[in-house]
Structure 1
Amino acid sequence: MKKEGMNVTPWEVEGKIDYEKLIKEFGLEPIKSLPEVFNKNVLFRRKVIFAHRDFQKILEAIKKKKKVVLMTGLMPSGVFHLGHMLLAQQMIFYQKLGVKLYIAVADLEAYNVRKKPLGELRKIAIDQYLLNYIALGLKPEDVDFYFQSERSNDAKKSNAYYRLASNFSRYATFNEFKGVYGEISPGKMNASLIQAADMFHSQLPEFDEGKPVFIPVGVDQDPHIRIARGMAMRNKDHKFSQISSTYHLFLPGLKEGGKMSSSDETSYISMTDTPEEVRKKINKYAFSGGQATVEEHRKLGGNPDVDV
């Protein structure tokens, strides 16, 4: 979506974000009434998690203590920063409620986009992401952590996953990809097919068949979800239950406009930055909500909505 200075796509986020407009544009629903355990969570209480699609059935399943799957993924493009904390906190919260986690490392997509060797990408995923997840409180015992390039050592599971990615290509349409993504390429289409397999493969008999699935994401990732839901709805080879999803606000980058991004080291504060590095980044790059002059600032005050 690119309108009026706001650019929100799975690959780029720029400008001042109008979340109300995104809710309408993407066909989402605002998050309203929630069980008490969710209202106690700071991300829900402060409406950092602000919208959803079909999340009510997940709430009902959790309330009835039924098994639920959380599907998420990561792009091993760089260091783990504060922006990644939003998702990590959600993963830990849901795990405490008994939800099973699937975490996909998008190393195939990163290999094509970032042009780095697979071995290096896997090392980033483990050293920067998995270890930080565990340090923050994630219990690895009930987590299915895998690489897109090597789904499982179990041949039946691995074959089922890759068959599904191929199967989805039968139900993909060029017009749908163009309508959702705008400018498309073979790489984007291939990445979407694999991501669709990530989102739905837990429902196969080889995995956790019958368990509802939801995906917590930033709203920039919704085009991937819409494409996957469309292919699953048309799929005549499998009877999938539609995935649910929740959407959280972007953590603003240090500079005006956009979000924290691993591809721009001046936009983020990482978990491994020293206190001195944090101080230098804030002093040098952080956008100020102060007025142009001292007199104006004393008279009008600062703007906390844009102050970093």
Structure 2
Amino acid sequence: MDAYSLVTRNTVEVVTEDELSNLLAKPQKKVYAGYEPSGEIHLGHLVTINKLMDMKEAGFEVIVLLADLHAFLNRKGTMEQVRELADYNRRCFEGLGLSGVRYVLGSDLQLNPEYELNVLTLSQAITLNRAKRSMDEVGRQMEAPTVSQMIYPIMQMVDIASLGVDAAVGGIDQRKIHMLAREYLVTAGYPAPVCIHTPILNGLDGKKMSSSSGNYISVADSVEDIERKCQKAFCPPECEENPVLQILQYHIFPRVTEVVVRRPEKFGGDRTFETYGEMEDAYRKGEIHPLDLKKTVARYLSEVLACVRDYIN
């Protein structure tokens, strides 16, 4: 697979494609993604982790920002709590295969005079309404936002400038903040980053994935837990918004060369698929039963996550 196809696979948007093509031609290039420290690293996080691994393979220097200060500003816990979680999250990411990259703790980067002056300078140019709109998809309790949450997107812009990256990776919920960065960083003398956005996947119940709902698979789940959760997962005959098929597309096929559906001969015998498209087409035609799909996804996902379970335990 060529570098452009590798970087853009399983994305929903690249801003802009021409800028990415030009960037790929450069001998040195940097990309980053930021993560608010979380108690559970789950399949929602793994979408961008997979993308960073793609970009490393495509020749990018990868930086992972463990955004403890952002989590604190977004009302995710005390600084002590989020810093402790940051270390755990790093071990999860390394266990998933994101090694040989640079990990940066947010507060190590952000608590210095030059950084703070850049935040204050940009804050003069950005209206309160614009800052609030940029946080609509990522902020907690945004029906009554705090001033700290208005600082959050401006800090994210300064992160991009301070790290000296050429590209930013995030879920599509990061789009408004990234567009803010592209618009205003150039006014402060910094280049606009290429922005690569990945989809937001459904939870196992077909609804928005949420830690409070428990509708996710953690990277630390046991084989038994993964099998149980897949067995109970929403898996309609349709392919659109099907969370089991999403796991197959975004978490399994990027890491394996083929998928084998194991079935008794009386149900058609085993079938082997080399691409997600082939397997989706077979499911759409009713050639794969939902139960067989769930069992197959559980088996391969358990294998994919075995490395991180071994690493953190």
TM-score bin, normalised by smaller chain: 0.5 to 0.7
Residue 190 (structure 1) aligns with: 151
Structure 2: gaps spanning 5 or more residues: 137-142, 245-313
CA distance in 2: counterparts of 1:272 and 1:179, whole angstroms = 34
Q: Which runs of 5+ in 1 are unaligned?
A: 1-34, 204-211, 290-301
Cα deviation per residue 1:241-296 (whole Å; 9 max; x = unaligned)? 111101112222111222x33x2352210111012222333344x2231xxxxxxx
Match of 1:87 among 48, 62, 68: 48
Aligned with 2:93 (options 130, 133, 143): 133
Q: How does 1:198-237 map to 2 (within 5 A)?
A: 198-203=159-164, 213-235=166-188
The 1-side partners of 2:96 and 2:63 are apart by 17
SS in 2 for 1:150: helix
Matched, 1:243 2:214: no
Distance 1:115 1:216 in 2: 22
Q: Answer yes or no: is the 8 Å Cα contact 1:73–1:106 preserved in 2.
A: yes
Query: Aligned equivalents of 1:115 and 1:181: distance in 2?
Result: 15
- Which structure 2 residues correspond to residues 98-117 of structure 1 after superposition, within 5 A? 98-117=59-78
Q: What corresponds to 1:287 in structure 2?
A: 234
Change in Cα spacing, 1:281 to 1:216, as seen in structure 2 (3 Å) is same
Partner of 1:168: 122
Aligned residue for 1:11?
none
- SS at 1:149 equivalent: helix
Q: Is the 8 A contact 1:79 1:124 kept in 2?
A: no
Find the residue that maps to 1:92 and give its secondary structure.
helix
> Please, what TM-score do these two structures have when normalized by structure 2?
0.66
Q: Is the contact between residue 131 and residue 153 of structure 2 (CA under 8 Å) also seen in structure 1?
A: no
- The amino acid of 1:136's aligned partner reads L
SS of residue paired to 1:151: helix
Which of the residues 254, 264, 274 maps onto 2:204? 254
Quick one: structure 1 residues 278 and 137, their matched pair in 2 at CA, closer, same or farther if it must change by over 3 Å? closer
Paired amino acid for 2:206:
E
Q: Aligned-residue CA RMSD in angstroms?
A: 2.6
Q: Is the 8 A contact 1:77 1:121 kept in 2?
A: yes
In the alignment, what sits opposite 1:56?
18
**1:287/1:306 contact within 8 Å kept:** no
Alignment correspondent of 1:294 = none
1:86 to 1:177, Cα distance in 2 relative to 1, 3 A = same
- AA matched with 1:228: A
- Whichever structure has more helix as a proportion of its residues is 2
Cα deviation for residue 219 of structure 1 reads 0.9
Contact residue 171 and residue 234 of structure 1 kept, 8 A: no
- Equivalenced residue count is 236
Percent of aligned positions with the same letter in both sequences? Answer: 22
Alignment of 1:14-25 (within 5 A): none
Question: What's the TM-score, normalizing by structure 1?
Answer: 0.67
Alpha-carbon separation, structure 2, partners of 1:148 and 1:166: 17
- Paired with 2:116 and 2:61, the residues of 1 have a C-alpha distance of 21
